[in-house]
Structure 1
Amino acid sequence: MATSQPLQLYPAWLNLKGQKVLLAGGGQVALRRATTLLSHRARLRVAAPEVLPLFERWEAEKRIQLFRRVFKESDLDGARLAFACTDDPQVNQQIVNSALSMGIWVESCTRAEGANLYPGGVIHSGSIALAISSMGKSPIVTQALRECFEEVFGADWGDEIDQLISEAGDEGGSHRISPEELKRKVRESVFMQVKRWGERKTTS
């Protein structure tokens, strides 16, 4: 009997500025997705019979296109990504099936069969972003790891790394410090953050 192979996901960073994205659902899960997508300047289309008040405010501000009804396949027209975040697994499966038939990458919050998009946890600080994934196995574990890394590194750690990048010079070859020296300083910064976190934990 053949054993199933573990899921191997390819990590990638997407530039969603100006890209059409469909979000089906108007609850808390959909709201979290919408907040992230808008922060990345996606052109967001939302379809849901009922939505939280913030969606209505975004519509009034013309930040989203809102359809107060159930999902229709035509909602996917022109979309690059789709997010099935309704509270109905059957509807989410319908969205996944439709998106896949149109060659659109799609996530399902209810793990509908065939979904091929798995947003992970992300930590942003300065121009540094760290992505965390459990390969689709456990969103709870991904969230816990993200919270741990946020606690260890803090909100301003990326600014320190940005300063090192600035000191190092540009990528065109005009280096003020060598690549090896830059790597050493980055490693020192990382280990110092871990050390400081450990000291805070022992004194608290």
Structure 2
Amino acid sequence: MDFYPIAVNLKNRLCVVVGGGDVGERKVRGLLEHGAHVRLVSPQAKRELVKLACEGKIEWRAQKALPQDLEGAFLVFLATCDRAVNDELERFARERGILVNRADAPERCDFIVPASFQAGNIEVAVFSGGEAPFFARWLRIRLENELSRNLGTMGELMSDLRAELKEKPIDQRRRAEILNTVLESDILEILRQQGKEAALAHARELVNEL
């Protein structure tokens, strides 16, 4: 697999989406959820995208995409059916070091977007390197159905516990060992049956015993 799994901070970075159809709408929504400044370039756009533009949540250039529409972008999603336009925009982007994702040519993508879901401060992502995207989406749905109910709370609990451990005079390796011991205990079952406070109390008892 050629793709390196990495989480990128897009807050306030310019990200361009070319194409106002279903694919473009999904990309716009995902970018907004992660704090990006979104520029949509498309002569027409789906109703929800028009609404976002009217609300000032995205910048919409209602025109056929031109290379200069990508100026200043960190990354671009090319989500049109016009291969000639996509080819021209891809060349322009690569000359300027702009990362490219092409819906019509996965093999030419600099990056791909995994199937993911978020629960609290935990985000789970699944990707197949572009080889089996439908399976990745199926697996994401299965994982979300099985894990999401308590995953966010568990993430908050472990974050709280980690913060408490950082106040103790122990090194990073020992802290990691303690956290792993807590995770390997029956803490998730306690969380499911008795709630966060009981689970946190259980974790603190384990810490005191170690």
Task: Report the TM-score when normalising by structure 2.
Answer: 0.80
* Range with greater deviation from structure 2 (116-125 or 76-85): 116-125
Name the SS for the 1:156 alignment partner. helix
Provide the residue aligned with 1:130 in structure 2: 124
The Cα of 1:190 is off from its aligned counterpart by: 9.2
Instruction: Give the structure 2 partner of residue 164 of structure 1.
Output: 158
Aligned residues: 188
How far did 1:129 drift?
Answer: 1.4
SS of the residue corresponding to residue 110 of structure 2 reads coil
Equivalent residue number for residue 113 of structure 2: 119
**Range that drifts further, 89-98 or 138-147:** 89-98
Corresponding residue number in structure 2 for 1:89: 83
How far, CA to CA, are the matches of 1:64 and 1:175 in structure 2?
A: 48
Q: Would you say the 8 A contact 2:102–2:108 is kept in 1?
A: no
Is the aligned partner of 1:25 residue 2:19?
Answer: yes
Higher mean alpha-carbon deviation, 79-88 vs 148-157, is at: 148-157
Is the Cα contact below 8 Å between 1:96 and 1:112 reproduced in 2?
no
Tell me what 1:200 maps to.
Answer: none
Conserved? CA contact 1:96–1:114, under 8 Å: no
Consecutive unaligned residues in structure 2, runs of 5 or more: 194-210
* Equivalent runs, 1:60-75 vs 2, <5 Å: 60-75=54-69
99 and 163 in structure 1: CA distance in 2 versus 1, 3 angstrom threshold? same
Select 1:180's aligned residue among 177, 181, 188.
Answer: 177
Q: Are 1:100 and 2:94 matched, yes or no? A: yes
Structure 2 vs 1, CA of residues 189 and 137 (structure 1 numbering), >3 Å: closer, same or farther?
farther
Q: Among the aligned pairs, what percent are the same residue?
A: 24
Deviates more, 1:19-28 or 1:89-98: 89-98
Residue ranges of structure 1 left out of the alignment (5+ in a row): 1-6, 197-204
Contact 1:45-1:65 at 8 Å conserved across structures: yes
Cα-to-partner distance string for 1:85-116 (whole Å, 9 max, x where unaligned): 11233322332222112111111111265321
For residues 146-179 of structure 1, the C-alpha deviation after alignment (integer angstroms, 9 at most, x for no partner) is: 1111111024312123212212325745379943
Which shows bigger deviation, 112-121 or 164-173? 164-173
Contact map agreement 1:92 1:112 (CA 8 A) in 2? no
The alpha-carbon deviation at position 18 of structure 1 amounts to 0.7
Question: Could you tell me which residue of structure 2 aligns to residue 80 of structure 1?
Answer: 74
